[in-house]
Structure 1
């Protein structure tokens, strides 16, 4: 099992709109790809960064599903995110493997 983590630091002025968009549109679109078995959205409480920091986490059963998502779905979904919140956020992506 793999954990795909997307950390977003977003300007406070856009944070509420971003959060609603993530819940209503983006996360459902990512899950509709069928490449992830679960997800969660977390707010970082002790972030040293300016703005508001969130982590969106998706669980994939295997590397094949993750790679398929990256090749066939991620570019369009990430482009939509960047267009909608242009110059208002920074995103970092990390892939992790469950070990215990």
Structure 2
């Protein structure tokens, strides 16, 4: 499993519009590419956001980056030309555990 993680800092006046856009447009659009199995959208107490997209393999992530990322990033930038900064990171699972409660 490969996690494509985006962390964002959003200026306070944009928070409502950002959350709406991410939940109703951007995250569903990324999932619609077929490159990811799921996503998690979280907010920290400091007002930063983290979106984790789960890809089955590195080749699925590469397919997203090559075929879809430019278009979806441009759409995001057209909605938020200023006031949102983002950083991206890729994590590859080594091993996972779960509780059997």
State whether TM-score is above 0.5.
yes
Gap runs ≥5 in structure 1:
none
Following superposition, the deviation at residue 29 of structure 1 comes to 0.3
Instruction: State the secondary structure of the residue aligned to 1:35.
Output: coil
**Which residue pairs with 2:15 in the alignment?**
15
- Could you list the runs of 4 or more consecutive aligned residues of structure 1 that deviate by over 3 angstroms after TM superposition? none
Aligned residues: 95
CA distance in 2, matches of 1:56, 1:87: 19
- The reply to whether residue 93 of structure 1 matches residue 88 of structure 2 is yes
Gap runs ≥5 in structure 2:
96-101
Larger Rg: 2
Q: 2:49 aligns with which of 45, 48, 54?
A: 54
Following superposition, the deviation at residue 87 of structure 1 comes to 1.2
Query: TM-score, length-normalised on structure 1?
Result: 0.91
Following superposition, the deviation at residue 4 of structure 1 comes to 0.5
CA distance in 1, matches of 2:48, 2:69: 21
Query: TM-score, length-normalised on structure 2?
Result: 0.90
